[in-house]
């Protein structure tokens, strides 16, 4: 198999389109990429010096959907199947995996970090954990009429907040606050709303907030117009109106910025819960004693277990989580211009790069 791949040789320098041979080994598959989402983490690898586990040269991209076109020994059953590739593929056999702690599996495979990723015509990954996609031409299976490229963002942008919400214990009638509502945060708002929670979206982008007001957010707060004190007061008023005490309030930090993390930590109240979902290499100063004084909980969240992907896919295909209004599909050949664009200013919608040989 000949792969056309956009490859990073040096951080911050334009990616080069290169051709390389790729074969599926035992237990592996080669997937023809239908679409690959651009994540904040990709920008961190490219611009911010966040180290990849596989050294450059490397093809980035970990939000991938496509079709299996080659299968190695033991993976033949996947040949011809449409799939979503989980952003993190645990080994399934180590002590961590056996204990249900797949996110910390030391043998996990993260496309675009451990191995070449999805900003290419094809990629090769382990078959374990792939999420099969039903026939999208069947209206009964795909009432939302989504294409395979759009499903790429399930890997990470939808699945990561899904796991974060699920492991938090958020329930109907609770309050969920999302700080930063780009790709991960925007889909997190919808995931939380699907549980029946009262959802608050905090962001700097008015277009994002307006869209989320129509897709799950009961209250939107513009952090450009409100300082921290005003944000917290507005949140407290809303919680009081809904009759939700602080110990039933869940804050999800999804901005991946130092300012967002500081805000999210400051919103914790007695008995509150904070989930750190976004990533930034920046450091910040916090008074951790607040956790003791408030008997509060902070938990990190790394990716999403592959076994949760089928239920996420069902939520998406049945329209309980909307994708189309939040996506912007662009040709993969524009990758260098798009990275520069996103480095200058976050996009209002999640960008999905589609190889030129795809519709």
Residue 206 CA to residue 51 CA, distance in Å, equals 33
Angle (CA) 65 312 221, round 5° = 105
341-354 CB burial, b ≥16 within 10 A, e <16 = ebeeebbebbbbbb
Report the relative pairing of strands 327-331 and 350-354 from DSSP bridges.
parallel
- Is the pLDDT assigned to residue 219 strictly greater than 60? yes
27 and 148, same structural domain? yes
Going by C-alpha positions, the residue among 17, 23, 14, 13 that lies closest to residue 5 is 17
Going by C-alpha positions, the residue among 207, 192, 194 that lies closest to residue 251 is 192
Residue 125 CA to residue 150 CA, distance in Å, equals 20
Q: pLDDT tens digits, residue range 36-64?
A: 999 999 999 999 999 999 999 999 999 99
In a domain, 182, yes or no: yes
Q: pLDDT tens digits, residue range 264-277?
A: 999 999 999 999 99
In a domain, 274, yes or no: yes
Q: Per the structure, how many domains does the chain have?
A: 2
Q: Place 359 in a pLDDT band, splitting at 50, 70 and 90.
A: very low
168 and 108, same structural domain? no
The DSSP letter of residue 200 is: E
pTM: 0.96
Q: What is the rounded average pLDDT for all residues in the chain?
A: 97
Q: What is the mean pLDDT of residues 243-258?
A: 97
163 and 151, same structural domain? no
Q: What is the mean pLDDT of residues 30-36?
A: 98
In a domain, 7, yes or no: yes
Distance of alpha carbon 6 from its chain centroid, rounded? 21
Q: pLDDT tens digits, residue range 303-348?
A: 999 999 999 999 999 999 999 999 999 999 999 999 999 999 989 8
Q: Confirm if 61 and 156 have CB atoms less than 8 A apart.
A: no
Q: pLDDT tens digits, residue range 229-249?
A: 999 999 999 999 999 999 999
Q: pLDDT tens digits, residue range 138-156?
A: 999 999 999 999 999 999 9
Q: Which residues on neighbouring strands pair with residue 353, listed in sequence order? A: 36, 330
In a domain, 246, yes or no: yes
220 and 106, same structural domain? no
pLDDT score, position 281: 87
Q: Confirm if 157 and 349 have CB atoms less than 8 A apart.
A: no
136 and 38, same structural domain? yes
Of 7-11, 201-205, 280-284, 286-290, where does mean pLDDT reach its minimum? 280-284
CATH number, domain of 204, equals 3.40.50.720
pLDDT score, position 358: 53
| Domain containing residue 220 | 159-300
pLDDT score, position 1: 87
49 and 109, same structural domain? yes
Q: pLDDT tens digits, residue range 163-191?
A: 999 999 999 999 999 999 999 999 999 99
Integer Rg of the chain from CA = 20
Residue 104 CA to residue 165 CA, distance in Å, equals 18
In a domain, 359, yes or no: no
* 3-state class (DSSP) for residue 333: helix
């Amino acid at each position: 198999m000949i792969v056309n791949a956009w490859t990073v040789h040096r951080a911050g320098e334009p990616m080069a389109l290169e051709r390389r041979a790729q074969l599926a080994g035992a237990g592996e598959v080669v997937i023809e990429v239908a679409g690959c989402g651009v994540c904040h983490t990709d920008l961190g690898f490219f611009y911010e010096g966040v180290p990849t586990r596989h050294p450059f040269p490397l093809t980035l991209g970990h939000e991938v959907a496509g079709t299996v076109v080659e299968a190695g020994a033991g993976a033949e059953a996947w040949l011809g199947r449409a799939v979503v590739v989980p952003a993190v593929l645990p080994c399934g056999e180590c002590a961590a995996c056996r204990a249900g702690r797949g996110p910390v599996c030391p043998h996990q495979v993260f496309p675009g970090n451990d191995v070449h990723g999805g900003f290419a015509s094809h990629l090769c990954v382990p078959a374990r954990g792939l999420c099969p996609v039903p026939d999208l031409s069947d209206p009964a299976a795909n009432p939302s009429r989504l294409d395979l490229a759009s499903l790429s963002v399930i890997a990470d942008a939808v699945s990561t907040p899904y796991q974060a919400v699920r492991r938090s214990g958020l329930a109907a009638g609770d309050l969920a606050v999302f700080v930063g509502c780009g790709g991960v945060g925007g889909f997190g708002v919808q995931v939380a709303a699907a549980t029946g929670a009262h959802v608050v979206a905090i962001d700097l982008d008015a277009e994002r907030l307006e869209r989320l007001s129509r897709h799950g957010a009961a209250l939107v707060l513009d952090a450009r117009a409100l300082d921290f004190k005003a944000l917290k007061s507005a949140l407290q008023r809303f919680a009081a109106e809904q009759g939700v005490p602080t110990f039933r309030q869940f804050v999800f930090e999804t901005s991946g910025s130092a300012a967002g993390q500081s805000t999210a930590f400051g919103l914790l109240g007695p008995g509150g819960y904070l989930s750190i979902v976004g990533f930034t290499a920046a450091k910040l100063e916090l008074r951790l004693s607040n956790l003791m004084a408030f008997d509060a909980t902070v938990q990190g969240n790394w990716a999403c277990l592959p076994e949760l992907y089928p239920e996420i896919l069902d939520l998406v295909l049945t329209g309980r989580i909307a994708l189309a209004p939040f996506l912007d599909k662009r040709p993969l050949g524009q990758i260098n211009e798009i990275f520069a664009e996103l480095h200058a200013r976050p996009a209002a919608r999640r960008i999905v790069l589609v190889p030129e040989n795809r519709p």
